[in-house]
Amino acid sequence: MARAKAIVITGNGTNCEIEAAHACRLGGFDEAVIAHISDLLSGDLRLDDFHFLNLTGGFLDGDDLGSAKAQANRFTYARVDELNEHLIDQLLRFIGAGKPILGVCNGFQLMVKMGLLPAFDGNHLQQVATLTFNDCGRFQDRWVYLKNNPASPSIFTRGIEKGVYLPIRHGEGKFVVASHEVMERIEAGNLAVFKYSGPDYGEPTMTFPENPNGSDHAIAGICDESGLLMGLMPHPEAFVHRTNHPRWTREELPEEGDGLILFRNAAEYVRTKLL
Amino acid sequence: MARRIEIALKDHIRDPRGERIKREIGHFFHLPVERVRTIDVYTVDAELDDAELQLVAAGPFCDQVIQEWYLDTPAATGFDYLVEVGLRPGVTDNVGRTAREAVEYLIGKQLRAGEGVYTSVQYLLSCKLSLADVESIATGLLCNTLIQRYTILDASAFTANKGMPVFVPKVLGEIKTEVKEIDLEVPDQELMRISKEGVLALTLEEMRIIQAHFRDPQVVMSRQAMGLGHRPTDVELEALAQTWSEHCKHKIFSGTVQYEDEAGNRQEIKSLFKSFIQRTTKDVREKLGDRDFCLSVFKDNAGVIRFNDDWSLVFKVETHNSPSALDPYGGALTGIVGVNRDPFGTGQGAKLIFNTDVFCFADPFYAKPLPSRLLHPRRIYEGVVEGVEHGGNKSGIPTVNGSLVFDERFAGKPLVFCGTAGIMPATINGKPSHEKHIEPGDLIIMTGGRIGKDGIHGATFSSEELNENSPVSAVQIGDPITQKRMFDFLIRARDKGLYNFITDNGAGGLSSSIGEMAGECGGCRMDLAKAPLKYAGLNPWEILISEAQERMSLAVPPAKIGEFSEMARRFGVEVSVLGEFTDSGYFHILYGERTVAYLPVAFMHEGLPPMQLPARWTPPRHEEPCIQIQNDYTDVLAQLLSSLNICSKESVVRRYDHEVQGGSVVKPFTGAANDGPSDAAVVRPILDSFEGVVVAHGICPRYSDIDTYHMTANAVDEALRNYVAVGGSLDMVAGLDNFCWCDPVLSEKTPDGDYKMAQLVRSNQALFDVCMAYNLPLISGKDSMKNDFYDGEVKISIPPTLLFSVIGRIEDARKSVTMDVKRPGDIVYLLGKTGDELGASEYLALKGFVGNHVPQVDTVKAYKRYRAYHEAVAAALVASCHDLSDGGLAVAAAESAFAGNYGMDLDLSRVLWKGDETGRNDVTLLFSESASRHLVTVHPEHCAAFEAIMGGNCFAAIGVVTAGPVLAISGLGGGTVIKASLDTLKDAWQRPLRDL
C-alpha cells in the first residue's frame, strides 16, 4: 500500500520540527521526515517525494531582517546542487500537484512573505499581506481561542465545530494587508480560517490578550482559494495531547488535543486524493 | 564604495519599537516626547551594481506591505532630532550577517573577503528638547556606548548634510603577529603592575610561581629547543592567567580554609569543593547503592544522570553576572547561549530540552543615586530579560522555570543564572554517551563562529570586582542562530560517530578548551595562524584567549575529517583544523612555523598551590522586632502580595517561549485563568512517552543576613519541596549548586573577608548536611566569587546567594499536580509544622526588620513527609499542592485560591505548631516562612485515603475550599483576621510588574 509521507523542513532557526513531525505521525501519516534544508539544497531529498509539507515554527535566521524574510529570500533564490533547478521550482511543482502545505507561526510568516498566501488567482509569488510586530510590542506565549470559519475552503479545518484553543508564541504575529481590496477578497472568499475570539468562540475580538497581537480583522490564520495552503500563527502541533493544555489538571478534557485535527485532515486528504 | 539602504515604515503603520522607546524616555528621563519613529539602515560595503542593490533593498531588506526602501537617499522626515545607533567596529552584527547571506543568495555568489553589510537604527524624535537632553537619551537609553556608537543630528543639520553620511564600522588593523616577551625578573611591585595592567588577575604569589617556573634550568633548556628564550611570551602568560583564573580554576573552593566558629573551635578544611560538594555526591551515591543514577559528575561541562534505560539527562546552571552588569542585553544573551553549550558539549553531546533562568536585581523602581559606572536596575532588568528572551526563544529551547529575586544590594552586581538541560541516548554507536576520549593524533577542530577581539579577558575580568576600568572588550554578543546551525550539524555528526571528543569554547577561549583537552590526552600542538578571524589584526595571544561566541572544540580522528568537513559545509558551518592532540606533555602553541607558547601540561593544571583562606564565624545579632498583634491582616497580606519578591512575574514569563518542543506538562502559569504561579516545571522530552522530567529551584539570599547555613538549608529544601509539590519522585532527583558570593578573601579591599569566608564554609556545611538527608547527589555546579562593586569609595557587596536547582523524574507525567485549588468542598491540609521563624522573612522586611529567628529545616521529618506525599500523588489523591515560601501560609493560600478562582476558609488554630508556645500568634502563623511546608487540597472522597498515607507525619486539615471568591482566615482568638475578595488579592499580586 502506498505510504502517506509528510516532510518537515528545518535548519537556520526552525525550532518546532520534532513536535510537528510527531503531530503528523499521530495524525495518520506513515512517515514524517525531518529534512534539514541542506538535504534539499544538496538534492539528497526532493519535495516531489512527499505529500504534505510542513513549514513550522522557529526563528528563521533569527528573524533578523523581519520574521522569515531571509528564508523567503533563500527559498526564492537558492539553487539545488545536484539538480538543474532552484528550490522554488520544486515548491511550485509541489503546489501544482495539488499537495497540501501547512505553515505555522514562522512558517506562516514565510508563506505570507513569499506570496504563497493568500495567493489570489494562483499567483504564488506575490506578497499582498504581512505579519508584523505585535501591538503590545513584545513576544507573547499565551493560549488563544480561535473561532473557525466553517465556510472556508481549508482542507485542514474540516469537522471543527466552533473553534480550537491553541498557544501562540510570537513577537511578530499581527496580520496586516496591503490594501482594503486584499482584505475584502480574503473575507469574501472565506479565506480567513481562524479569528481570535473569546472562550465562547463568538465574535472575533480586537481586545488584548484574546487577540494577542492586534491583527486586522482579528485574523489568526488564512488559506488560499484551493484550501490546500494554509498558515496560522497559533501552534496546532503544540496541543496534540490533553497534558499540553494549560488547565488539564482542572478540566475534563478529551485525550486528544485540539490541534491534532489539522494533521488528521491533512493525512485524510492525502489518503483519499493523492495515494 | 559603501552604499546606504534605509527601510522606513509607511506613515500609517504603527511602530511598536518607537512607541516602546517613547514610553521608556518618559519613564527614565521624565521628558516629554511626542513621537518616536524608527528606521532600519543597511550599509552595504560590497561591489554591487545599482540593479542588484535595488533588488536587495526591495526584496529581503524591505517588507513592501508595510515598509518603503530608500537607496542613497535619506528616508527620515518630520522629526526634531535624529539619533542613529550602530555597533562599534568589531562587535558582532547578527542582522548584518544575515543581510550579507541574503545578498549572496540573491546575487548568486559569495561576497569577497572584507566586504560586508552593517546595520544601524535611526530613532526619529519629535520633541521640544535641548540637544543635551537628546544626548542623555542617546547615551542613557538608545546606545550602550561600550558596544555601540551613535550620531545625533537635529533637523536642520540633517537637511544641511543631506542626511546621514555613510560610515563603515570595519575593523581596520594592520596585519601584525606580534609576540612580546615579558621580563619577570623584576621587583614584586612590578610583577603586580604587570598583572593588574594586563587584566591577568594573578596574585603576587601566582606571579612568583610563574617567575620560578621560567627560572628552572630544565625549563629554559626545553624552551631553547623550541626557539624560545627564558622569558615567558605574552601568549604563555595569558594562557596561564586564563587557566589559573578564579573563574576557571575555582581557587577559593579548592583553597585551604582555616575556619573558626563562634565558640572558638578551629578546623582546617582542605578544599571546600572536595570536603563538601564532592563528598556529598560520593556519600549519597554510596548510600543509594544499586539505586545510584549518577553517570557523570563534576568531570564534564555538565552533570549526567540516568533518565531511563534508553536516555540520559544532562543539566548545568551557569552565571553571567559581570558581563550583564556592563551590557545587560549582550551579557544575558551570551549567558543563555553560553550555558547551552555546556550540556551540548557534555559526553558526546546532548540535545537541549529546556532552559531555566533566575535573575537577582535591585528594585527596578530604584530612585536613589548610583555610583557612576553602574547602570540603573531598570535598565539591567530590561536588558537581561530581553537578552535571555532572544537567546532562549531563538534557540528553540523552552524556558520552563525560573524566578526573579530583588534586593537593593544587587545594584552592585546583578546575578544572572542561566540553566540548560539536555537529553541524549544512553548509548551512541554502541558506546555510553556520557563518555568520550581523545587519542593522540586526533585533530584539533574548532567549529562555529570566528574569532574577534570580543570577550578578551572575560574569565579574568569576572575574577575581579567590577570597577571603573572594567574592560570594554570583556563583553561579547551572542548569536543564537549561528549556534543553532552548528548544533544542527554537530548532532548529526555525533550520530554518525565523526568525532571523539567535544567541549564548549567559553571562558578563556581556546586557551581553556584546548588546554583542558590537552590535559585529557597529555598534550597538543596547535597553530593559531589557522584559526579563522572575524577581521585581521589580532595578536596570537588574543586569538588564544578570545571568548568570541558560538564555538565548540572537538577532537576528530584524521580518517573522519573529510566526511566531517563536507557535512559542515552543507550545513553552512565553518570548521577549522588547528593542529593535533599529542602525548608530548606540552601545551605547544605555534603561530605559523614559530613556537609562541610551550608550557608543560602538568604545570598549567597542577602548578598552583592551594590558596590559604582565613574564616571566622561571628553570628550577627539583629534588632529583635516587637511583633504588633492586630485584629486584621488583610492589608498586610495585600502589601506582601505586592512586594517585589512575591508579586507576579507574568509580564516577564510570557515573553519566554515555555512550550516549544511540545512536551510542556506543568507550565509556569496554571489555574482557571492561566495565571497562578507554578512551583516547578514538568516536561516530557520524549513525546511518545509519559515519563516526565521535573525541574525546580530554591533561592533565599535574605536569610544570609542571619546565617548562611540556614540560607543554604532553606534553598535546598525549597528546591526539593517545589519539586515534590508537582509530583517529582524522590528516587531519582539530583541537585546543582550555584554559589554567588561577595569576595571572601581577606584583604585591604575586603577587611571582612574572613566573615564572608566563614559564611561560605557554613553554606557548604549545610549543603552537605541537607543533601545527605535528602539523598540528593550534586551533579554539577558553579561558583562566582567576586560579586562586588568597588570604585574606591563606594562598595556594594551582594548578599551571599546559593541557587539550588533540582532535576528529576516523574514516572507518569499525567499524575502531575498543580497549585490551583480545584473545586469547592475540597479539604485544605497544611503539611508540616509552623514555628516562630519570621527572621529575614518578607513580613519583617516589610516592617523594616531582619530579626534573628531564621527558619530551620528538620530534614528527617521533611523527607519522610515528602515521601508519603509522593505516594499520595502517585495514588492520584491530591487535587492541588502549593509550597509555602516567601510570605508564608497567607501568601500561599491567597495564590492557590485566586489561581483556582475559589475561596478558602482557613482556621489558624488548627495549624500545627513547633517549639515554644510564646511565639505562637496570628502573625507567625500567617507569615512565618518555616521550611518544608505544603498547602494541599484533597477531594472529600479521597480524604480518608490521603490521611492514611500521610499517617505518622505532621499534617493538619486547616480548612475548606469555598465556592465564593473570598479568602477568609480566622485567627487564634476566633475572629476573622483576613478577609478579602480574590480579585483584590490577585490585583495586588499582579499590579507591581504588570507593565514592565
Restricting to A residues 125-184, those with a Cβ less than 8 Å away from any Cβ of B are 127-130, 132-143, 167, 169, 176-178
- Cβ of B481 within 8 Å of Cβ of A129? The answer is no
Query: Do A77 and B105 make contact, defined as CB atoms within 8 angstroms?
Result: yes
- A138–B65 C-beta distance less than 8 A: no
Residue A250 touches chain B, beta carbons under 8 Å: yes
DSSP label of B185? -
How open is the CA angle B158-B164-B166, to the nearest 5 degrees? 160
Q: Could you tell me the residue ranges of all domains in chain B? A: 3-161, 626-647+817-988
- Is the pLDDT reported for residue B472 higher than 60? no
A24 is catalytic: no
The residue written with cell numbers 465556510 in the block is: A151
CATH match of B626-647+817-988 with 2.40.33.10: no
Burial call B390-414: b when 16+ CB within 10 Å, e when fewer: bbbbbbbbbbbbbbbbbbebbbbbb
CB-CB: which of A36, A74, A140 is closest to B105? A74
- CA nearest A203: which of A230, A261, A258, A163? A163
- pLDDT tens digits for range B419-429: 999 999 999 99
Per-residue model confidence as pLDDT tens digits over B254-266: 999 999 999 999 9
How far apart are alpha carbons B26 and B23 in whole angstroms? 5
Distance, CA of B247 to chain centre: 15
Residues of chain A neighbouring B17 (CB-CB closer than 8 A): 133, 137
Q: Do A42 and B657 touch (CB under 8 A)?
A: no
Q: How confident is the model at residue B473 (pLDDT cuts 50, 70, 90)?
A: low
Using pLDDT thresholds of 50, 70 and 90, give the confidence band for residue B716.
Answer: very high
**CB under 8 Å to B470, separation ≥6 — which residues?**
B322, B326, B373, B461, B464
Mean pLDDT over B940-953 rounds to: 98
C-beta atoms of B660 and A57 within 8 A:
yes
Residues B546 and B458: their CA atoms lie apart, in Å, by 8
For residues B890 and B663, is the Cβ–Cβ distance under 8 A? no
Distance from CA of B486 to the nearest CA of A (A): 9
Per residue in B159-172, pLDDT (tens digit) is 998 999 999 988 77
Cα distance between residue B543 and residue B242, in whole Å: 13
Question: Do residues B665 and B692 touch, judged by C-beta distance below 8 A?
Answer: yes
Active site residue A237: yes
**For residues B600-606, average pLDDT:** 88
Whether A258 and chain B come into contact, CB under 8 Å, resolves to: no
- Do residues B629 and B921 make contact, with C-beta atoms less than 8 angstroms apart? yes
pLDDT tops 90 at residue B900: yes
Contacts A135 to B, Cβ<8 Å? 14, 16
Residues of A in contact with B106 (CB under 8 A): 73, 77
Query: A182 vs chain B: nearest CA distance in angstroms?
Result: 11
Determine whether A170 is an active site residue: no
Cis, bond preceding B701 (omega within 30 deg of 0): no
Interchain CB distance below 8 Å, A73 and B670:
no
- Give A19→chain B minimum CA distance, Å: 5
pLDDT at B461: 62
B chain contacts of residue A178, beta-carbon cutoff 8 Å? 64-65
- Give the chain A residue whose CA is nearest to the CA of B398: A15
Residue B18: closest C-alpha in chain A: A137
Contact B655 A74 (CB under 8 A): no
Kindly report the average pLDDT of chain B as a whole number. Answer: 93
Task: Tell me, yes or no, if A217 comes closer than 8 A to chain B by beta carbon.
Answer: no
What's chain B's length in residues?
Answer: 996
Q: What is the pLDDT of residue B372?
A: 78
Question: Exposure of A216 by Cβ count < 10 A (0-12 exposed, 13-18 middle, 19+ buried)?
Answer: middle
pLDDT digits (tens, 9 = 90+) for A42-83: 999 999 999 999 999 999 998 999 999 999 999 999 888 877
* Cell numbers representing residue B17 in the block: 519599537
**What pLDDT sits at residue B788?**
92
* Partner-chain contact B660 A237, CB within 8 Å: no
Q: B61 to chain A, minimum CA–CA distance in Å?
A: 6
Q: What is the mean pLDDT of residues B143-163?
A: 90
Contact B393 A14 (CB under 8 A): no
CA distance readout (Å), B768 to B161, B272, B291, B302, B777:
68, 11, 20, 20, 10
Contacts of B653 in chain A (CB under 8 A): 141
Contact B900 A250 (CB under 8 A): yes
Distance from CA of A224 to the nearest CA of B (A): 18
Inter-chain contact B657–A139, Cβ cutoff 8 Å?
yes
- Cα B423 from Cα B418, distance rounded (Å): 17
Ranges B21-30, B577-586, B722-731: which has the least confidence: B21-30
Q: Which residues contact B978 (CB under 8 A, 6 or more apart)?
A: B632, B633, B634, B637, B890, B926, B967, B968, B969
Work out the number of other CB atoms within 10 angstroms of the CB of residue B159.
11
pLDDT, position B458: 65
Q: Alpha carbon B284 to chain centroid distance?
A: 27
Contacts of A176 in chain B (CB under 8 A): 13, 65-66
Do B654 and A143 form a contact (C-beta atoms < 8 A)? Answer: no
Fold agreement (B3-161, B626-647+817-988): no
Q: Which CATH superfamily is domain B3-161 in?
A: Phosphoribosylformylglycinamidine synthase subunit PurS (3.30.1280.10)
pLDDT at B475 over 70: no
Q: What is the band of B173 on the pLDDT scale with cuts at 50, 70, 90?
A: low
Q: Which residue has the higher pLDDT, A203 or B547?
A: A203
Kindly determine whether residue B572 and residue A137, on different chains, have CB atoms separated by under 8 Å: no
**pLDDT for B465 beyond 70:** no
User: What CA–CA distance (Å, rounded) separates B904 from B896?
Assistant: 9
Task: Indicate whether B462 pLDDT > 70.
Answer: no
End-to-end CA distance of chain A: 9
Residue found by looking up cell 506582601 in the block = B640
DSSP H or E stretch at residue B695: strand B692-698
ipTM: 0.96
Query: Which contiguous run of DSSP H or E holds residue B904?
Result: strand B903-907
Which candidate from A58, A137, A167 shows the least CB-CB separation from B396?
A58
Label residue B811 by pLDDT band (50, 70, 90).
very high
CB atoms closer than 10 angstroms to residue B532: 15
For β-strands B431-432 and B427-428, DSSP reports them as: antiparallel
> What confidence tens digit (pLDDT) does each residue in B192-240 have?
999 888 888 888 989 999 999 999 999 999 999 999 999 999 999 999 9
pLDDT for B175: 64
pLDDT at B247: 77
Q: By C-alpha distance, which of B248, B772, B718 is closest to B463? A: B248
User: Min CA distance, B567 vs chain A (Å)?
Assistant: 9
Residue among B63, B106, B119, B648 with most chain A CBs within 10 A, to mutate: B63
DSSP-H helix ranges across B821-964: 842-847, 859-874, 888-900, 922-927, 943-950
pLDDT of residue B474: 57
Q: Is A250 in Cβ contact with B63 (below 8 Å)?
A: no
How far, in Å, are B232, B621, B701, B917 from residue B625 at the CA level? 60, 12, 20, 18
CA B669 – CA B653 distance, rounded (Å) = 9
B356-388: b or e for each residue (b if 16 or more CB lie within 10 Å)?
bbbbbbbbbebeeebbeebbbbbbbbbbbbbbb
C-beta separation of A22 from B665 below 8 A: no
Q: Would you call A138 and B655 a contact, using CB atoms and an 8 Å cutoff?
A: yes
A83 to chain B, any CB pair closer than 8 A? The answer is no
Using an 8 Å CB-CB cutoff, list chain B residues near A62. Answer: 94-95, 98, 394, 479-481
Contact B65 A128 (CB under 8 A): yes
User: Taking residues B953-970, what's their average pLDDT?
Assistant: 98
Does A82 lie at the interface with B, CB-CB under 8 angstroms?
no
pLDDT at B550: 87
- How many CB contacts within 8 angstroms connect chain A with chain B? 188
Chain A residue closest to B7 (CA)? A65
Q: Which residues of chain A have pLDDT under 50?
A: none
> B151 pLDDT exceeds 90?
yes
Q: Helices B888-900 and B982-990: crossing angle, nearest 10°? A: 110
Q: Which of A13, A42, A73 sits opposite B570 (nearest CB)?
A: A42
Looking at beta carbons, which residues of chain A come within 8 Å of B661? Answer: 15-16, 18-19
Q: Interior CA angle at B799 toward B798 and B803, to 5°? A: 105
Greatest pairwise CA separation for chain B in angstroms: 89
Question: Which among B64, B66, B393 has CB closest to A139?
Answer: B393
Q: Cα dihedral angle (B365, B366, B368, B370), rounded to 10 degrees?
A: -130
Output the nine-digit C-alpha cell for B723.
Answer: 519539586
- Reference B702, options B834, B836, B854, B848; nearest CA is B854
Share of chain B above pLDDT 90, in %: 80
Q: What is the DSSP string of B490-548?
A: HHHHHHTT--SEEEE--TTHHHHHHHHHHHHHT-EEEEGGGS-BSSS---HHHHHH---
Residues of B in contact with A133 (CB under 8 A): 16-17
Domains observed in chain A: 5-274 (3.40.50.880)
- Identify the pLDDT of residue B246: 78
- Helix (H) or strand (E) holding B193, with range, is helix B188-197
Which residues on neighbouring strands pair with residue B72, listed in sequence order? none
What per-residue confidence (pLDDT) applies to A48?
A: 96
CB B578 within 8 A of CB B444: yes
**Apex CA B377: angle with CA B374 and CA B378, to 5°?**
130
**Entry field: residues in chain A:** 275
> CA of B688: which chain A residue's CA is closest?
A22
Q: What are the contacts of B271-275 at 24+ separation with CB within 8 A?
A: B271/B610, B272/B760, B272/B761, B272/B764, B275/B764
Tell me the three cell numbers of residue B46. 560590497
Q: What is the pLDDT of residues B834-856, one digit of tens each?
A: 999 999 999 999 999 999 999 99
Distances (CA, A) of B307 to B195, B331, B422, B873: 46, 32, 11, 20
Between β-strands B664-666 and B294-296, what pairing exists: parallel, antiparallel or unpaired? unpaired
Average pLDDT over residues B94-103: 93
Q: From the candidates A19, A105, A172, A223, which is the catalytic residue?
A: A105
Beta carbons of A72 and B13 less than 8 Å apart: no
In the prediction, which pLDDT does B791 show? 86
What is the number of other CB atoms lying within 10 angstroms of the CB of residue B246? Answer: 22
Report, as an integer, the average pLDDT of B147-165: 92
Chain B interface includes A8 (CB < 8 A): no
